[in-house]
Chain A
Amino acid sequence: MSDEATLQLPLLARVGHAQHCKICLQGLPSSQVDVDSARLALAFYCLGSLDLLNSLESRTNDFERQDWREWIWEQHTQGRYGTGFKPSSYMTPSHNLDNYTEFDAPHMITTYTALLSLSILKDDFSRLDRPGLLKFLRACQKDDGSFYTEPGQGGDSDIRTTYCAFAISSMLDDWSGIDVDRAIPYITACRTYEGGYGQSPFCEAQGGTTYCALASLYLAPSSSPIRGEPLTAQQRRQTIRWLVHNQGQSGGFHGRTEKEADACYCFWCGASLELLGAKDLVTTSALASFLARCQFKFGGIAKSPGEHPDPYHTYLSLAAISIHPPGPDTTTSTSWNIKPLDALINTTKETAEWARSHIPGQKIKS
């Protein structure tokens, strides 16, 4: 980046971004109906953004946070395949927490985002059915080592679900719900000749799925043989090379070779580099300049300049800035100060600590 461009780094419009997320938490227009079956995930991106901006306490009040916790617990549902969280009440005709039907079952990705959202809201997790959650994880794992998004009906399965299963096990500090030895070969089968990982075996390397693969490998428990350094030196070099080359001239990252930059890949690729111990290789001034241009004038961050914002791109942009903040040579504005991130489970360090100290519950024996 030229000095001229970096010196003109605009402010990060913190208030606008917080407001965008707050508005989404309060309600979405009918045009957003496609998030009906993923509302808890969307809520996580909103709450997570407020958390990263350190605005949760100032932008929301105790009553709201209490109500939201209650609402999330309403999605905590028990049944024949164990316990987890469903995406929302979009399939729920009446108040009934027990014995879900097969078409109103908990969902793996939602369960991961619910645990994080409750941690952001400082829930004590006294209501969490831990044995049920382990049973749910077991019911989701397939013979090939991957995981269904939902038990019973099957649903789809790819490396995103694997990541969620690993992150949940890690937060629970209990790996008895999944067969790690069976899960790892599925992850390694997703690796491609470019050095990234695809969504399932044989698929093209992509930034988001590469993050899921790497984070899963680095989350794996100490009992697993790959713990420590899951990649060979040669693999690690190749993956770093591919990730670094995904940063384009605009300063933003693209998710696949020869594609356009997109704000979300600033996180997926940027966090992957952090996991590989190579975060210093990102040109942070150019990254910040790109994300600054993705800001929407009325708040929120879009996938690329000139597009409309959404909580997903807002959250991932803020998370990317947290890992790769612009240096003092680029800006002296405090607007770019974002709370530090735990890149493995993708939440602020403070929230990760809360999760890890409250989700496992009382250990029966040491």
Chain B
Amino acid sequence: MPTIHTDPPTLYAERSDWADVTPQAQYENVNPLAPIFYTEEYKDATDYFRAIVKSGEMSERVLELTENIIRQNPAHYTAWQYRYKTLLTIKAPLDVELRLMDELAVKHLKTYQVWHHRRLLLTETRKPVPELAFIARSLKADEKNYHTWSYRQWLLAYFNDDELWDGELEFVERMLKGDIRNNSAWHHRFFIVFQSGTRKGDEDRDEVVRRELAYVKQSISQAPNNASAWNYLRGVLDHSHTPYSTLQLFVQLYTVPHSPGETAVEVIDLENPPPSKDSQLPCPAAIEFLADIYELEGGNGIPKATELWKSLANEHDTIRKKYWEYRIREALQSTGP
């Protein structure tokens, strides 16, 4: 069993159970680039690790040694590799290893190796279902962690098992409810709805597109200035080859300021949910979208699009002034003589 804590912290050089190993110091040239002034503990552990790798020993104590090194330096990918090989060779219980990884993953969320090791373990244990709950817990520590989301996408795609996919839409809705601007969750939604085959109940693809459009429009109405939602909207339209112009009525509601004395709308048009009362309008993303509709229309649409781009360049989105001016040039060029 791998020990969780090496207690008391003795150096390997002082331990009788390691006396049979001759430590191997790191070879270093006279004037190395960017040498690290190692702590005594790290130098000691890696001296023994180099010796172990040289002798090829794979044993229980190697698990303890590699865990020690990983805790000091989680990016030490060789310690991870050697540990993985040792686990397989001595047939160590991999569920125990996974529990240890539950702790290390949250501690070192941003370390690539933690996640890579976990993937390797899963390809052996082939028990992906409990991982979903683990990932959901890890995301609580960092909701946009790239490695954590990638791991979830990999898990779903690699095992591609109905049981895994079943609760996925619900999961992503929970994540979006927690943070409507979590682009990782929006991306995940696109992945599970459009990029990973058709789930049971989703065979009617037109209906799926309608459902997603309704969902994203509702989300935009709650928080119009959310680039993630607008990108998702564009993604759904592009993917389903739905013309942007079908959204004209909806986006127009967001391109103008709130009118003074505006009261709650009595009859809610479900197709075109209006912006929430406290939202900041006009919304630059809506103006951009409307300009795209006009541009695609061509002809008389071009001057209308140009006006909108000018308003973005000079008033509503000045950080991208050069971009909006470029859009004007491009549009005029493609319609020019």
Q: Name A's B-contacting residues (CB within 8 A).
A: 1, 24-30, 32-40, 42-43, 46, 64, 67-68, 70-72, 74, 88-96, 101, 103-104, 153, 155-156, 192-194, 198-206, 242, 244-245, 247-249, 251, 256-259, 278, 280-283, 286
Contacts and interface: CB of A to CB of B under 8 A. Distances in A.
Given A34-B73, A202-B154, A203-B150, A258 B36 contact: no
Given A39-B36, A93-B26, 17 more contacts: A25-B33, A33-B72, A36-B73, A71-B31, A90-B26, A91-B53, A92-B26, A101-B54, A104-B78, A192-B187, A193-B194, A202-B154, A251-B319, A256-B183, A281-B326, A282-B322, A283-B321
Contacts of A200: 150, 154
Contacts of B144: 256, 259
Contact of B35 (A27, A95, A155, A251): A27
Interface string B46-58: 1000110110000
Interface stretch (B90-98, B164-172, B223-231, B262-270): B223-231
A156 B112 CA distance: 9
B251 to A, nearest CB: 16
A193 B231 contact: yes
Interface of B is mostly: helix
18 contacts: A30-B37, A36-B36, A38-B75, A46-B34, A92-B27, A103-B78, A103-B82, A153-B81, A193-B239, A199-B150, A203-B187, A204-B146, A244-B323, A248-B319, A256-B144, A257-B186, A280-B322, A283-B321
Given A28-B35, A248-B319, A37 B76 contact: yes
A194 B235 contact: yes
A33 to B, nearest CB: 5
Contacts of A34: 73-75, 111
B195 interface: yes
8 closest A-B pairs by beta carbon, nearest first, are A193-B235, A67-B31, A93-B24, A204-B187, A257-B183, A43-B33, A34-B75, A258-B181
Interface in B9-26: 24-26
Interface residues of B, number: 68
Nearest to A42: B34
B39 interface: yes
A56 to B, nearest CB: 13
A37 B194 CA distance: 39
Interface of A is mostly: loop
A236 B36 CA distance: 43
Contact of A89 (B28, B75, B194): B28
A89 B235 contact: no
**Residue among B30, B146, B157 with max Cβ neighbours from chain A (10 Å):** B146
Contacts of B188: 204
B333 to A, nearest CB: 13
A101 B28 CA distance: 17
B34 A24 contact: yes
B59 to A, nearest CB: 16
A258 B227 contact: yes
A283 B181 CA distance: 25
Contacts of B25: 93
B56 to A, nearest CB: 9
Contacts of B72: 33
Contacts of A72: 33
Contacts of B219: none
A8 to B, nearest CB: 18
Interface in B237-287: 238-239
B116 interface: yes
Given A37-B77, A39-B34, A30 B190 contact: no
Contact of A257 (B32, B111, B194, B228): B228
Contacts of A67: 29-31
A1 B149 CA distance: 35
A203 B153 contact: yes
A245 B277 CA distance: 26
A130 to B, nearest CB: 23
Given A202-B157, A257-B227, A29 B146 contact: no
A91 B31 contact: no
Contacts of A249: 319
Contacts of A95: 27
B280 to A, nearest CB: 13
B42 interface: yes
Interface string B167-191: 0000000000000011110111011
A103 B116 CA distance: 17
B320 interface: yes
Contacts of A258: 181-183, 226-228
B26 A71 contact: no
A155 B77 contact: yes
A234 B4 CA distance: 54
B195 A36 contact: no
Contacts of B232: 193
Nearest to A34: B75
Contacts of B33: 25, 39-40, 43, 68, 71-72
A30 B36 contact: yes
A179 B323 CA distance: 37
Given A91-B50, A203-B150, A283 B36 contact: no
A198 B183 CA distance: 13
Nearest to A64: B31
Nearest to A193: B235
A157 B123 CA distance: 16
A210 to B, nearest CB: 13
A283 B319 contact: yes
Nearest to A117: B33
Contacts of A88: 32
A283 B320 contact: yes
Given A202-B191, A281-B322, A89 B112 contact: no
